């Protein structure tokens, strides 16, 4: 899909800002949360469509490509129907793609690459509007592939664009293509106000110098802007492309490094290997990998953007079409655990996701309209008939196998919910509905005062229990570092819980991309805040996403101190080494029993 990510230097950013100011354009500020994002925040998934000049059998004539589309019986309703089968709410259309021949599926008046006479974009938008589906347009920034796949010559016509501009512009260069693509993006924005926005494949310095994003914000304030792999502040969304190497391999969010409430996509291929576009093959879809990715993204408040390889006529190869049919029925059975959900174990409460007992692994979800209704998605079953996970203080009233409707035996003790006698495990995702009576045994924020031995400016310890996961305490790259919790009087203490900021991967992807989470720790208690004695608990927290718990032997104390001895990131990761950020932390007086 993309070319290698190009990190912009501080010099480029500086000159971009100066150029914008010189043009009288004010650089847009980051808007992490905005009403234009509401529909995507409510969505579960999207369907990515790479469909252009090089779609098999491949075309070098624009008219031949268009004729093949029409002769094949292309219909926008087919794409919308298939997206619905995937329980998706939006489409991303990539025809103006560098390695697909820079084709435009609309009658563009900006010459320079292939443009169809038939307005496929208009037809898709009209059909999508009738069925409550959003459409986002993919736009590339990159001219480097302008000769790939051609026996001779280029996909790009600098002469035609130069005549249009009245001066010479070489659109095979980055700056020249930046100008050409700028004009093309503006044309699309003006021509199709019904669009939901743009999906940008990285960035171009010409766009930055000339205020492209600021112009889109001004002229189409409802448009979303999404960037591939780069967490660019002006963008609404960051998409994480085809991440691999996790264990289990389907747990895509382990490779995500941007924290909510930032809108986050996980963009991956179906089938998982091969090109992003149809190359003539009917490759298999890995059902377990794909369903696992979809569900772990859902359980982590990450949008699953799935790429299927549409043929020239728009239809999907047989094995992908079969998967879509399967997934419709499969997800229809558990619809209530997928739609209208928050990811569990993060900023909206919920049971602990991730690694459970006896090799089990999965995620949890929480109903947006009922914080006492939870779901456990068991993607990897335990070796036996028992499933155990942390209850996060929720008093469980009833557990049901969502697919079968059968009641499930359960018990609660020592901070965990245990399901027993489970024998009907689903091959991909066993889902349990968990009805609760709310949380118990958690000290309210106004009962605890938090201080820290070190803090970064603007990120003090009071933000640890302000009830807002969007604010956080920052250790100012200090380790060891300690957090002190003052209960005001001697009270029972049984555990400490933390939601660390999810702004790093949860495993070491490379020497420079590592986890910023707590590693070694010690816990002390004190009556007077001066004499602490020996640790009452110590150990190592795993580098896992979601809520973390430190159990404390049954005790009564006024002061509790967590000493973070080290974090997971090595010195080779200069950005995250010794970095520690925590969204919220709280003390529990007792476990549910």
Residues 112, 230: one domain? Answer: yes
Assess whether 20 and 139 both reside in one domain.
yes
pLDDT at position 20 is 41
Cα–Cα distance measured from residue 321 to residue 327, given in angstroms and rounded to the nearest whole number: 10
Q: Which helix (H) or strand (E) holds 199?
A: strand 197-201
pLDDT at 14: 36
Q: Which domain holds residue 274?
A: 10-25+43-332
pLDDT of residue 339: 98
The confidence score (pLDDT) of residue 486 equals 98
Report the candidate in 254, 331, 262, 257 with the shortest Cα–Cα distance to residue 297: 254
Q: Is residue 188 part of a domain?
A: yes
Do the domain assignments include residue 36?
A: no
| ∠ Cα 250 254 260 (to 5°) | 120
Residue 548 lies in a domain: yes
The residue to which tokens 């997928």 are assigned: 338
Question: Do 408 and 463 belong to one domain?
Answer: no
Residues 428 and 322 both lie in one domain: no
In a domain, residue 32? The reply is no
Report the alpha-carbon distance of residue 117 to residue 566 in Å, rounded: 61
User: Do 193 and 328 belong together in one domain?
Assistant: yes
Does 151 map to a domain?
A: yes
User: Is 35 a member of any domain?
Assistant: no
* Residues 495, 415 contacting (CB under 8 angstroms): yes
Residues 389 and 488 in one domain: no
Q: Which of 559, 590, 387 is nearest to 483 (CA)?
A: 559
Q: Is residue 581 part of a domain?
A: yes
For the stretch 380-395, what's the b/e string if a residue is b when 16 or more beta carbons lie within 10 angstroms of its beta carbon? bbbeeebbbbbbbbbe
Residues 384 and 416 in one domain: yes
What's the average pLDDT block by block, 10 residues per block, for the chain (593 residues)?
42 36 48 95 98 97 98 98 98 97 98 98 98 98 96 96 98 98 98 97 94 97 94 92 96 96 96 96 97 98 98 98 98 98 97 98 98 98 98 98 98 98 97 97 96 98 95 98 98 98 96 97 97 97 98 96 98 97 98 93
Break the chain down into helix, strand, coil percent, rounded to 5.
Answer: 25, 30, 45
Closest CA to 23 of 199, 234, 208: 208
pTM recorded for the entire structure: 0.94
User: How confident is the model at residue 12, as a pLDDT?
Assistant: 34
User: Is the same domain home to 165 and 289?
Assistant: yes
CATH number (domain holding residue 520): 2.60.120.260
- CA 556, 562, 566 angle in degrees (round to 5)? 155
- Residue 214: CATH number of its domain: 3.20.20.80
Q: What is the CATH number of the domain that holds 381?
A: 2.60.40.1180
Q: By C-alpha distance, which of 172, 235, 156 is closest to 200?
A: 235
- Given 332, 351, 368, the domain boundary residue is 332
Residue 5 within a domain: no
Residues 98 and 169 in one domain: yes
One domain, residues 477 and 367: no
pLDDT at 1: 64
Indicate whether 398 and 512 sit together in one domain.
no
Which among 423, 548, 558 has a CA at the least distance from the CA of 485?
558
Copy the structure tokens of residue 504: 């790093």
Q: Which residue has the tokens 């720790």?
A: 521
Answer yes or no: do 434 and 547 share one domain: no
Domain-ending residue, one of 293, 312, 332: 332
Q: Are 243 and 266 in contact (CB under 8 A)?
A: yes
Inter-CA distances, 183 with 20, 92, 180, 208, Å: 17, 20, 5, 14
Other Cβ atoms within 10 Å of 469 Cβ, number: 18
Cis bond before residue 57 (omega within 30° of 0): yes
- Choosing from 422, 439, 456, the residue where a domain stops is 439
CB contact at 8 A, 459 and 401: no
Number of domains in the chain: 3
């Amino acid at each position: 899909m993309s070319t290698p990510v190009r990190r912009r230097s501080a010099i480029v950013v500086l000159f971009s800002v100066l150029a914008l100011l010189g043009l009288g354009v004010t650089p847009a500020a980051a808007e992490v949360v905005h009403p234009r994002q509401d529909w995507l925040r409510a969505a579960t998934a999207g369907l990515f469509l790479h469909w252009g000049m090089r779609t098999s059998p491949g075309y070098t004539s624009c008219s031949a490509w268009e004729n093949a589309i029409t002769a094949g019986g292309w219909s926008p309703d087919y794409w919308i129907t298939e997206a619905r089968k995937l329980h998706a709410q939006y489409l991303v259309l990539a025809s103006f793609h560098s390695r697909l021949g820079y084709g435009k599926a609309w009658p563009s008046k900006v010459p320079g690459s292939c443009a169809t006479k038939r307005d496929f974009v208009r037809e898709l938008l009209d059909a999508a509007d009738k069925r409550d589906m959003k459409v986002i347009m993919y736009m590339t920034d990159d001219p480097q592939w302008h000769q790939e796949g051609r026996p001779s010559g280029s996909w790009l016509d600098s002469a035609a664009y130069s005549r249009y501009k009245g001066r010479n512009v070489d659109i095979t260069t980055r700056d020249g293509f930046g100008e050409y693509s700028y004009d093309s993006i503006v044309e699309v924005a003006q021509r199709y106000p019904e669009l939901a926005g743009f999906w940008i494949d990285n960035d171009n310095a010409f766009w930055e110098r000339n205020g492209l994003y600021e112009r889109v914000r001004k002229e189409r304030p409802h448009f979303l802007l999404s960037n591939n792999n780069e967490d660019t502040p002006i963008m609404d969304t960051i998409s994480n492309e085809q991440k691999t190497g996790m264990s289990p391999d389907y747990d895509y969010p382990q490779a995500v490094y941007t924290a909510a409430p930032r809108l986050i996509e996980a963009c991956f291929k179906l089938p998982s290997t091969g090109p992003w576009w149809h190359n003539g093959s009917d490759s298999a879809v890995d059902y377990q990998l794909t369903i696992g990715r979809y569900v772990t993204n859902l359980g982590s408040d990450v949008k699953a953007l799935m790429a299927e390889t549409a043929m020239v006529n728009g239809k999907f190869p047989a094995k992908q079409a079969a998967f879509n049919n399967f997934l419709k029925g499969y997800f229809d059975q558990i619809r209530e655990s997928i739609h209208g959900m928050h990811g569990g174990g993060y900023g909206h409460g919920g049971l602990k996701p991730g690694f459970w007992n006896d090799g089990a692994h999965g995620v949890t979800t929480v109903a947006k309209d009922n914080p006492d209704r939870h779901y456990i998605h068991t993607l990897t079953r335990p070796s036996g008939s028992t499933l155990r996970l942390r209850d996060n203080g929720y008093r469980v009233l009833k557990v049901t196998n969502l697919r079968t409707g059968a009641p499930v035996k359960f018990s609660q003790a020592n901070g965990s919910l245990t399901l027993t006698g489970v024998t009907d495990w689903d091959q991909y995702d066993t889902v349990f509905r968990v009805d609760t009576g709310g949380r118990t045994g958690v000290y309210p924020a106004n009962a605890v005062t938090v201080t820290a031995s070190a803090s970064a400016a603007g990120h003090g310890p009071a933000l640890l229990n302000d009830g807002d996961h969007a604010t956080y305490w920052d250790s100012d790259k200090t380790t060891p570092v300690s957090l002190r919790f003052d209960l005001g009087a001697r009270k029972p203490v049984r555990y400490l819980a933390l939601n660390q900021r999810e702004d790093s991967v949860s495993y070491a992807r490379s020497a420079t991309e590592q986890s910023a989470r707590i590693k070694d720790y010690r816990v002390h208690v004190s009556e007077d805040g001066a004499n602490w004695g020996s640790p009452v608990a110590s150990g190592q927290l795993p580098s896992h996403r979601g809520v973390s718990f430190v159990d404390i032997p049954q005790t009564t104390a006024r002061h509790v101190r967590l000493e973070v001895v080290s974090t997971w990131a090595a010195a080779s990761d200069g950005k995250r080494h010794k970095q520690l950020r925590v969204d919220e932390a709280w003390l529990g007086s007792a476990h549910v029993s």
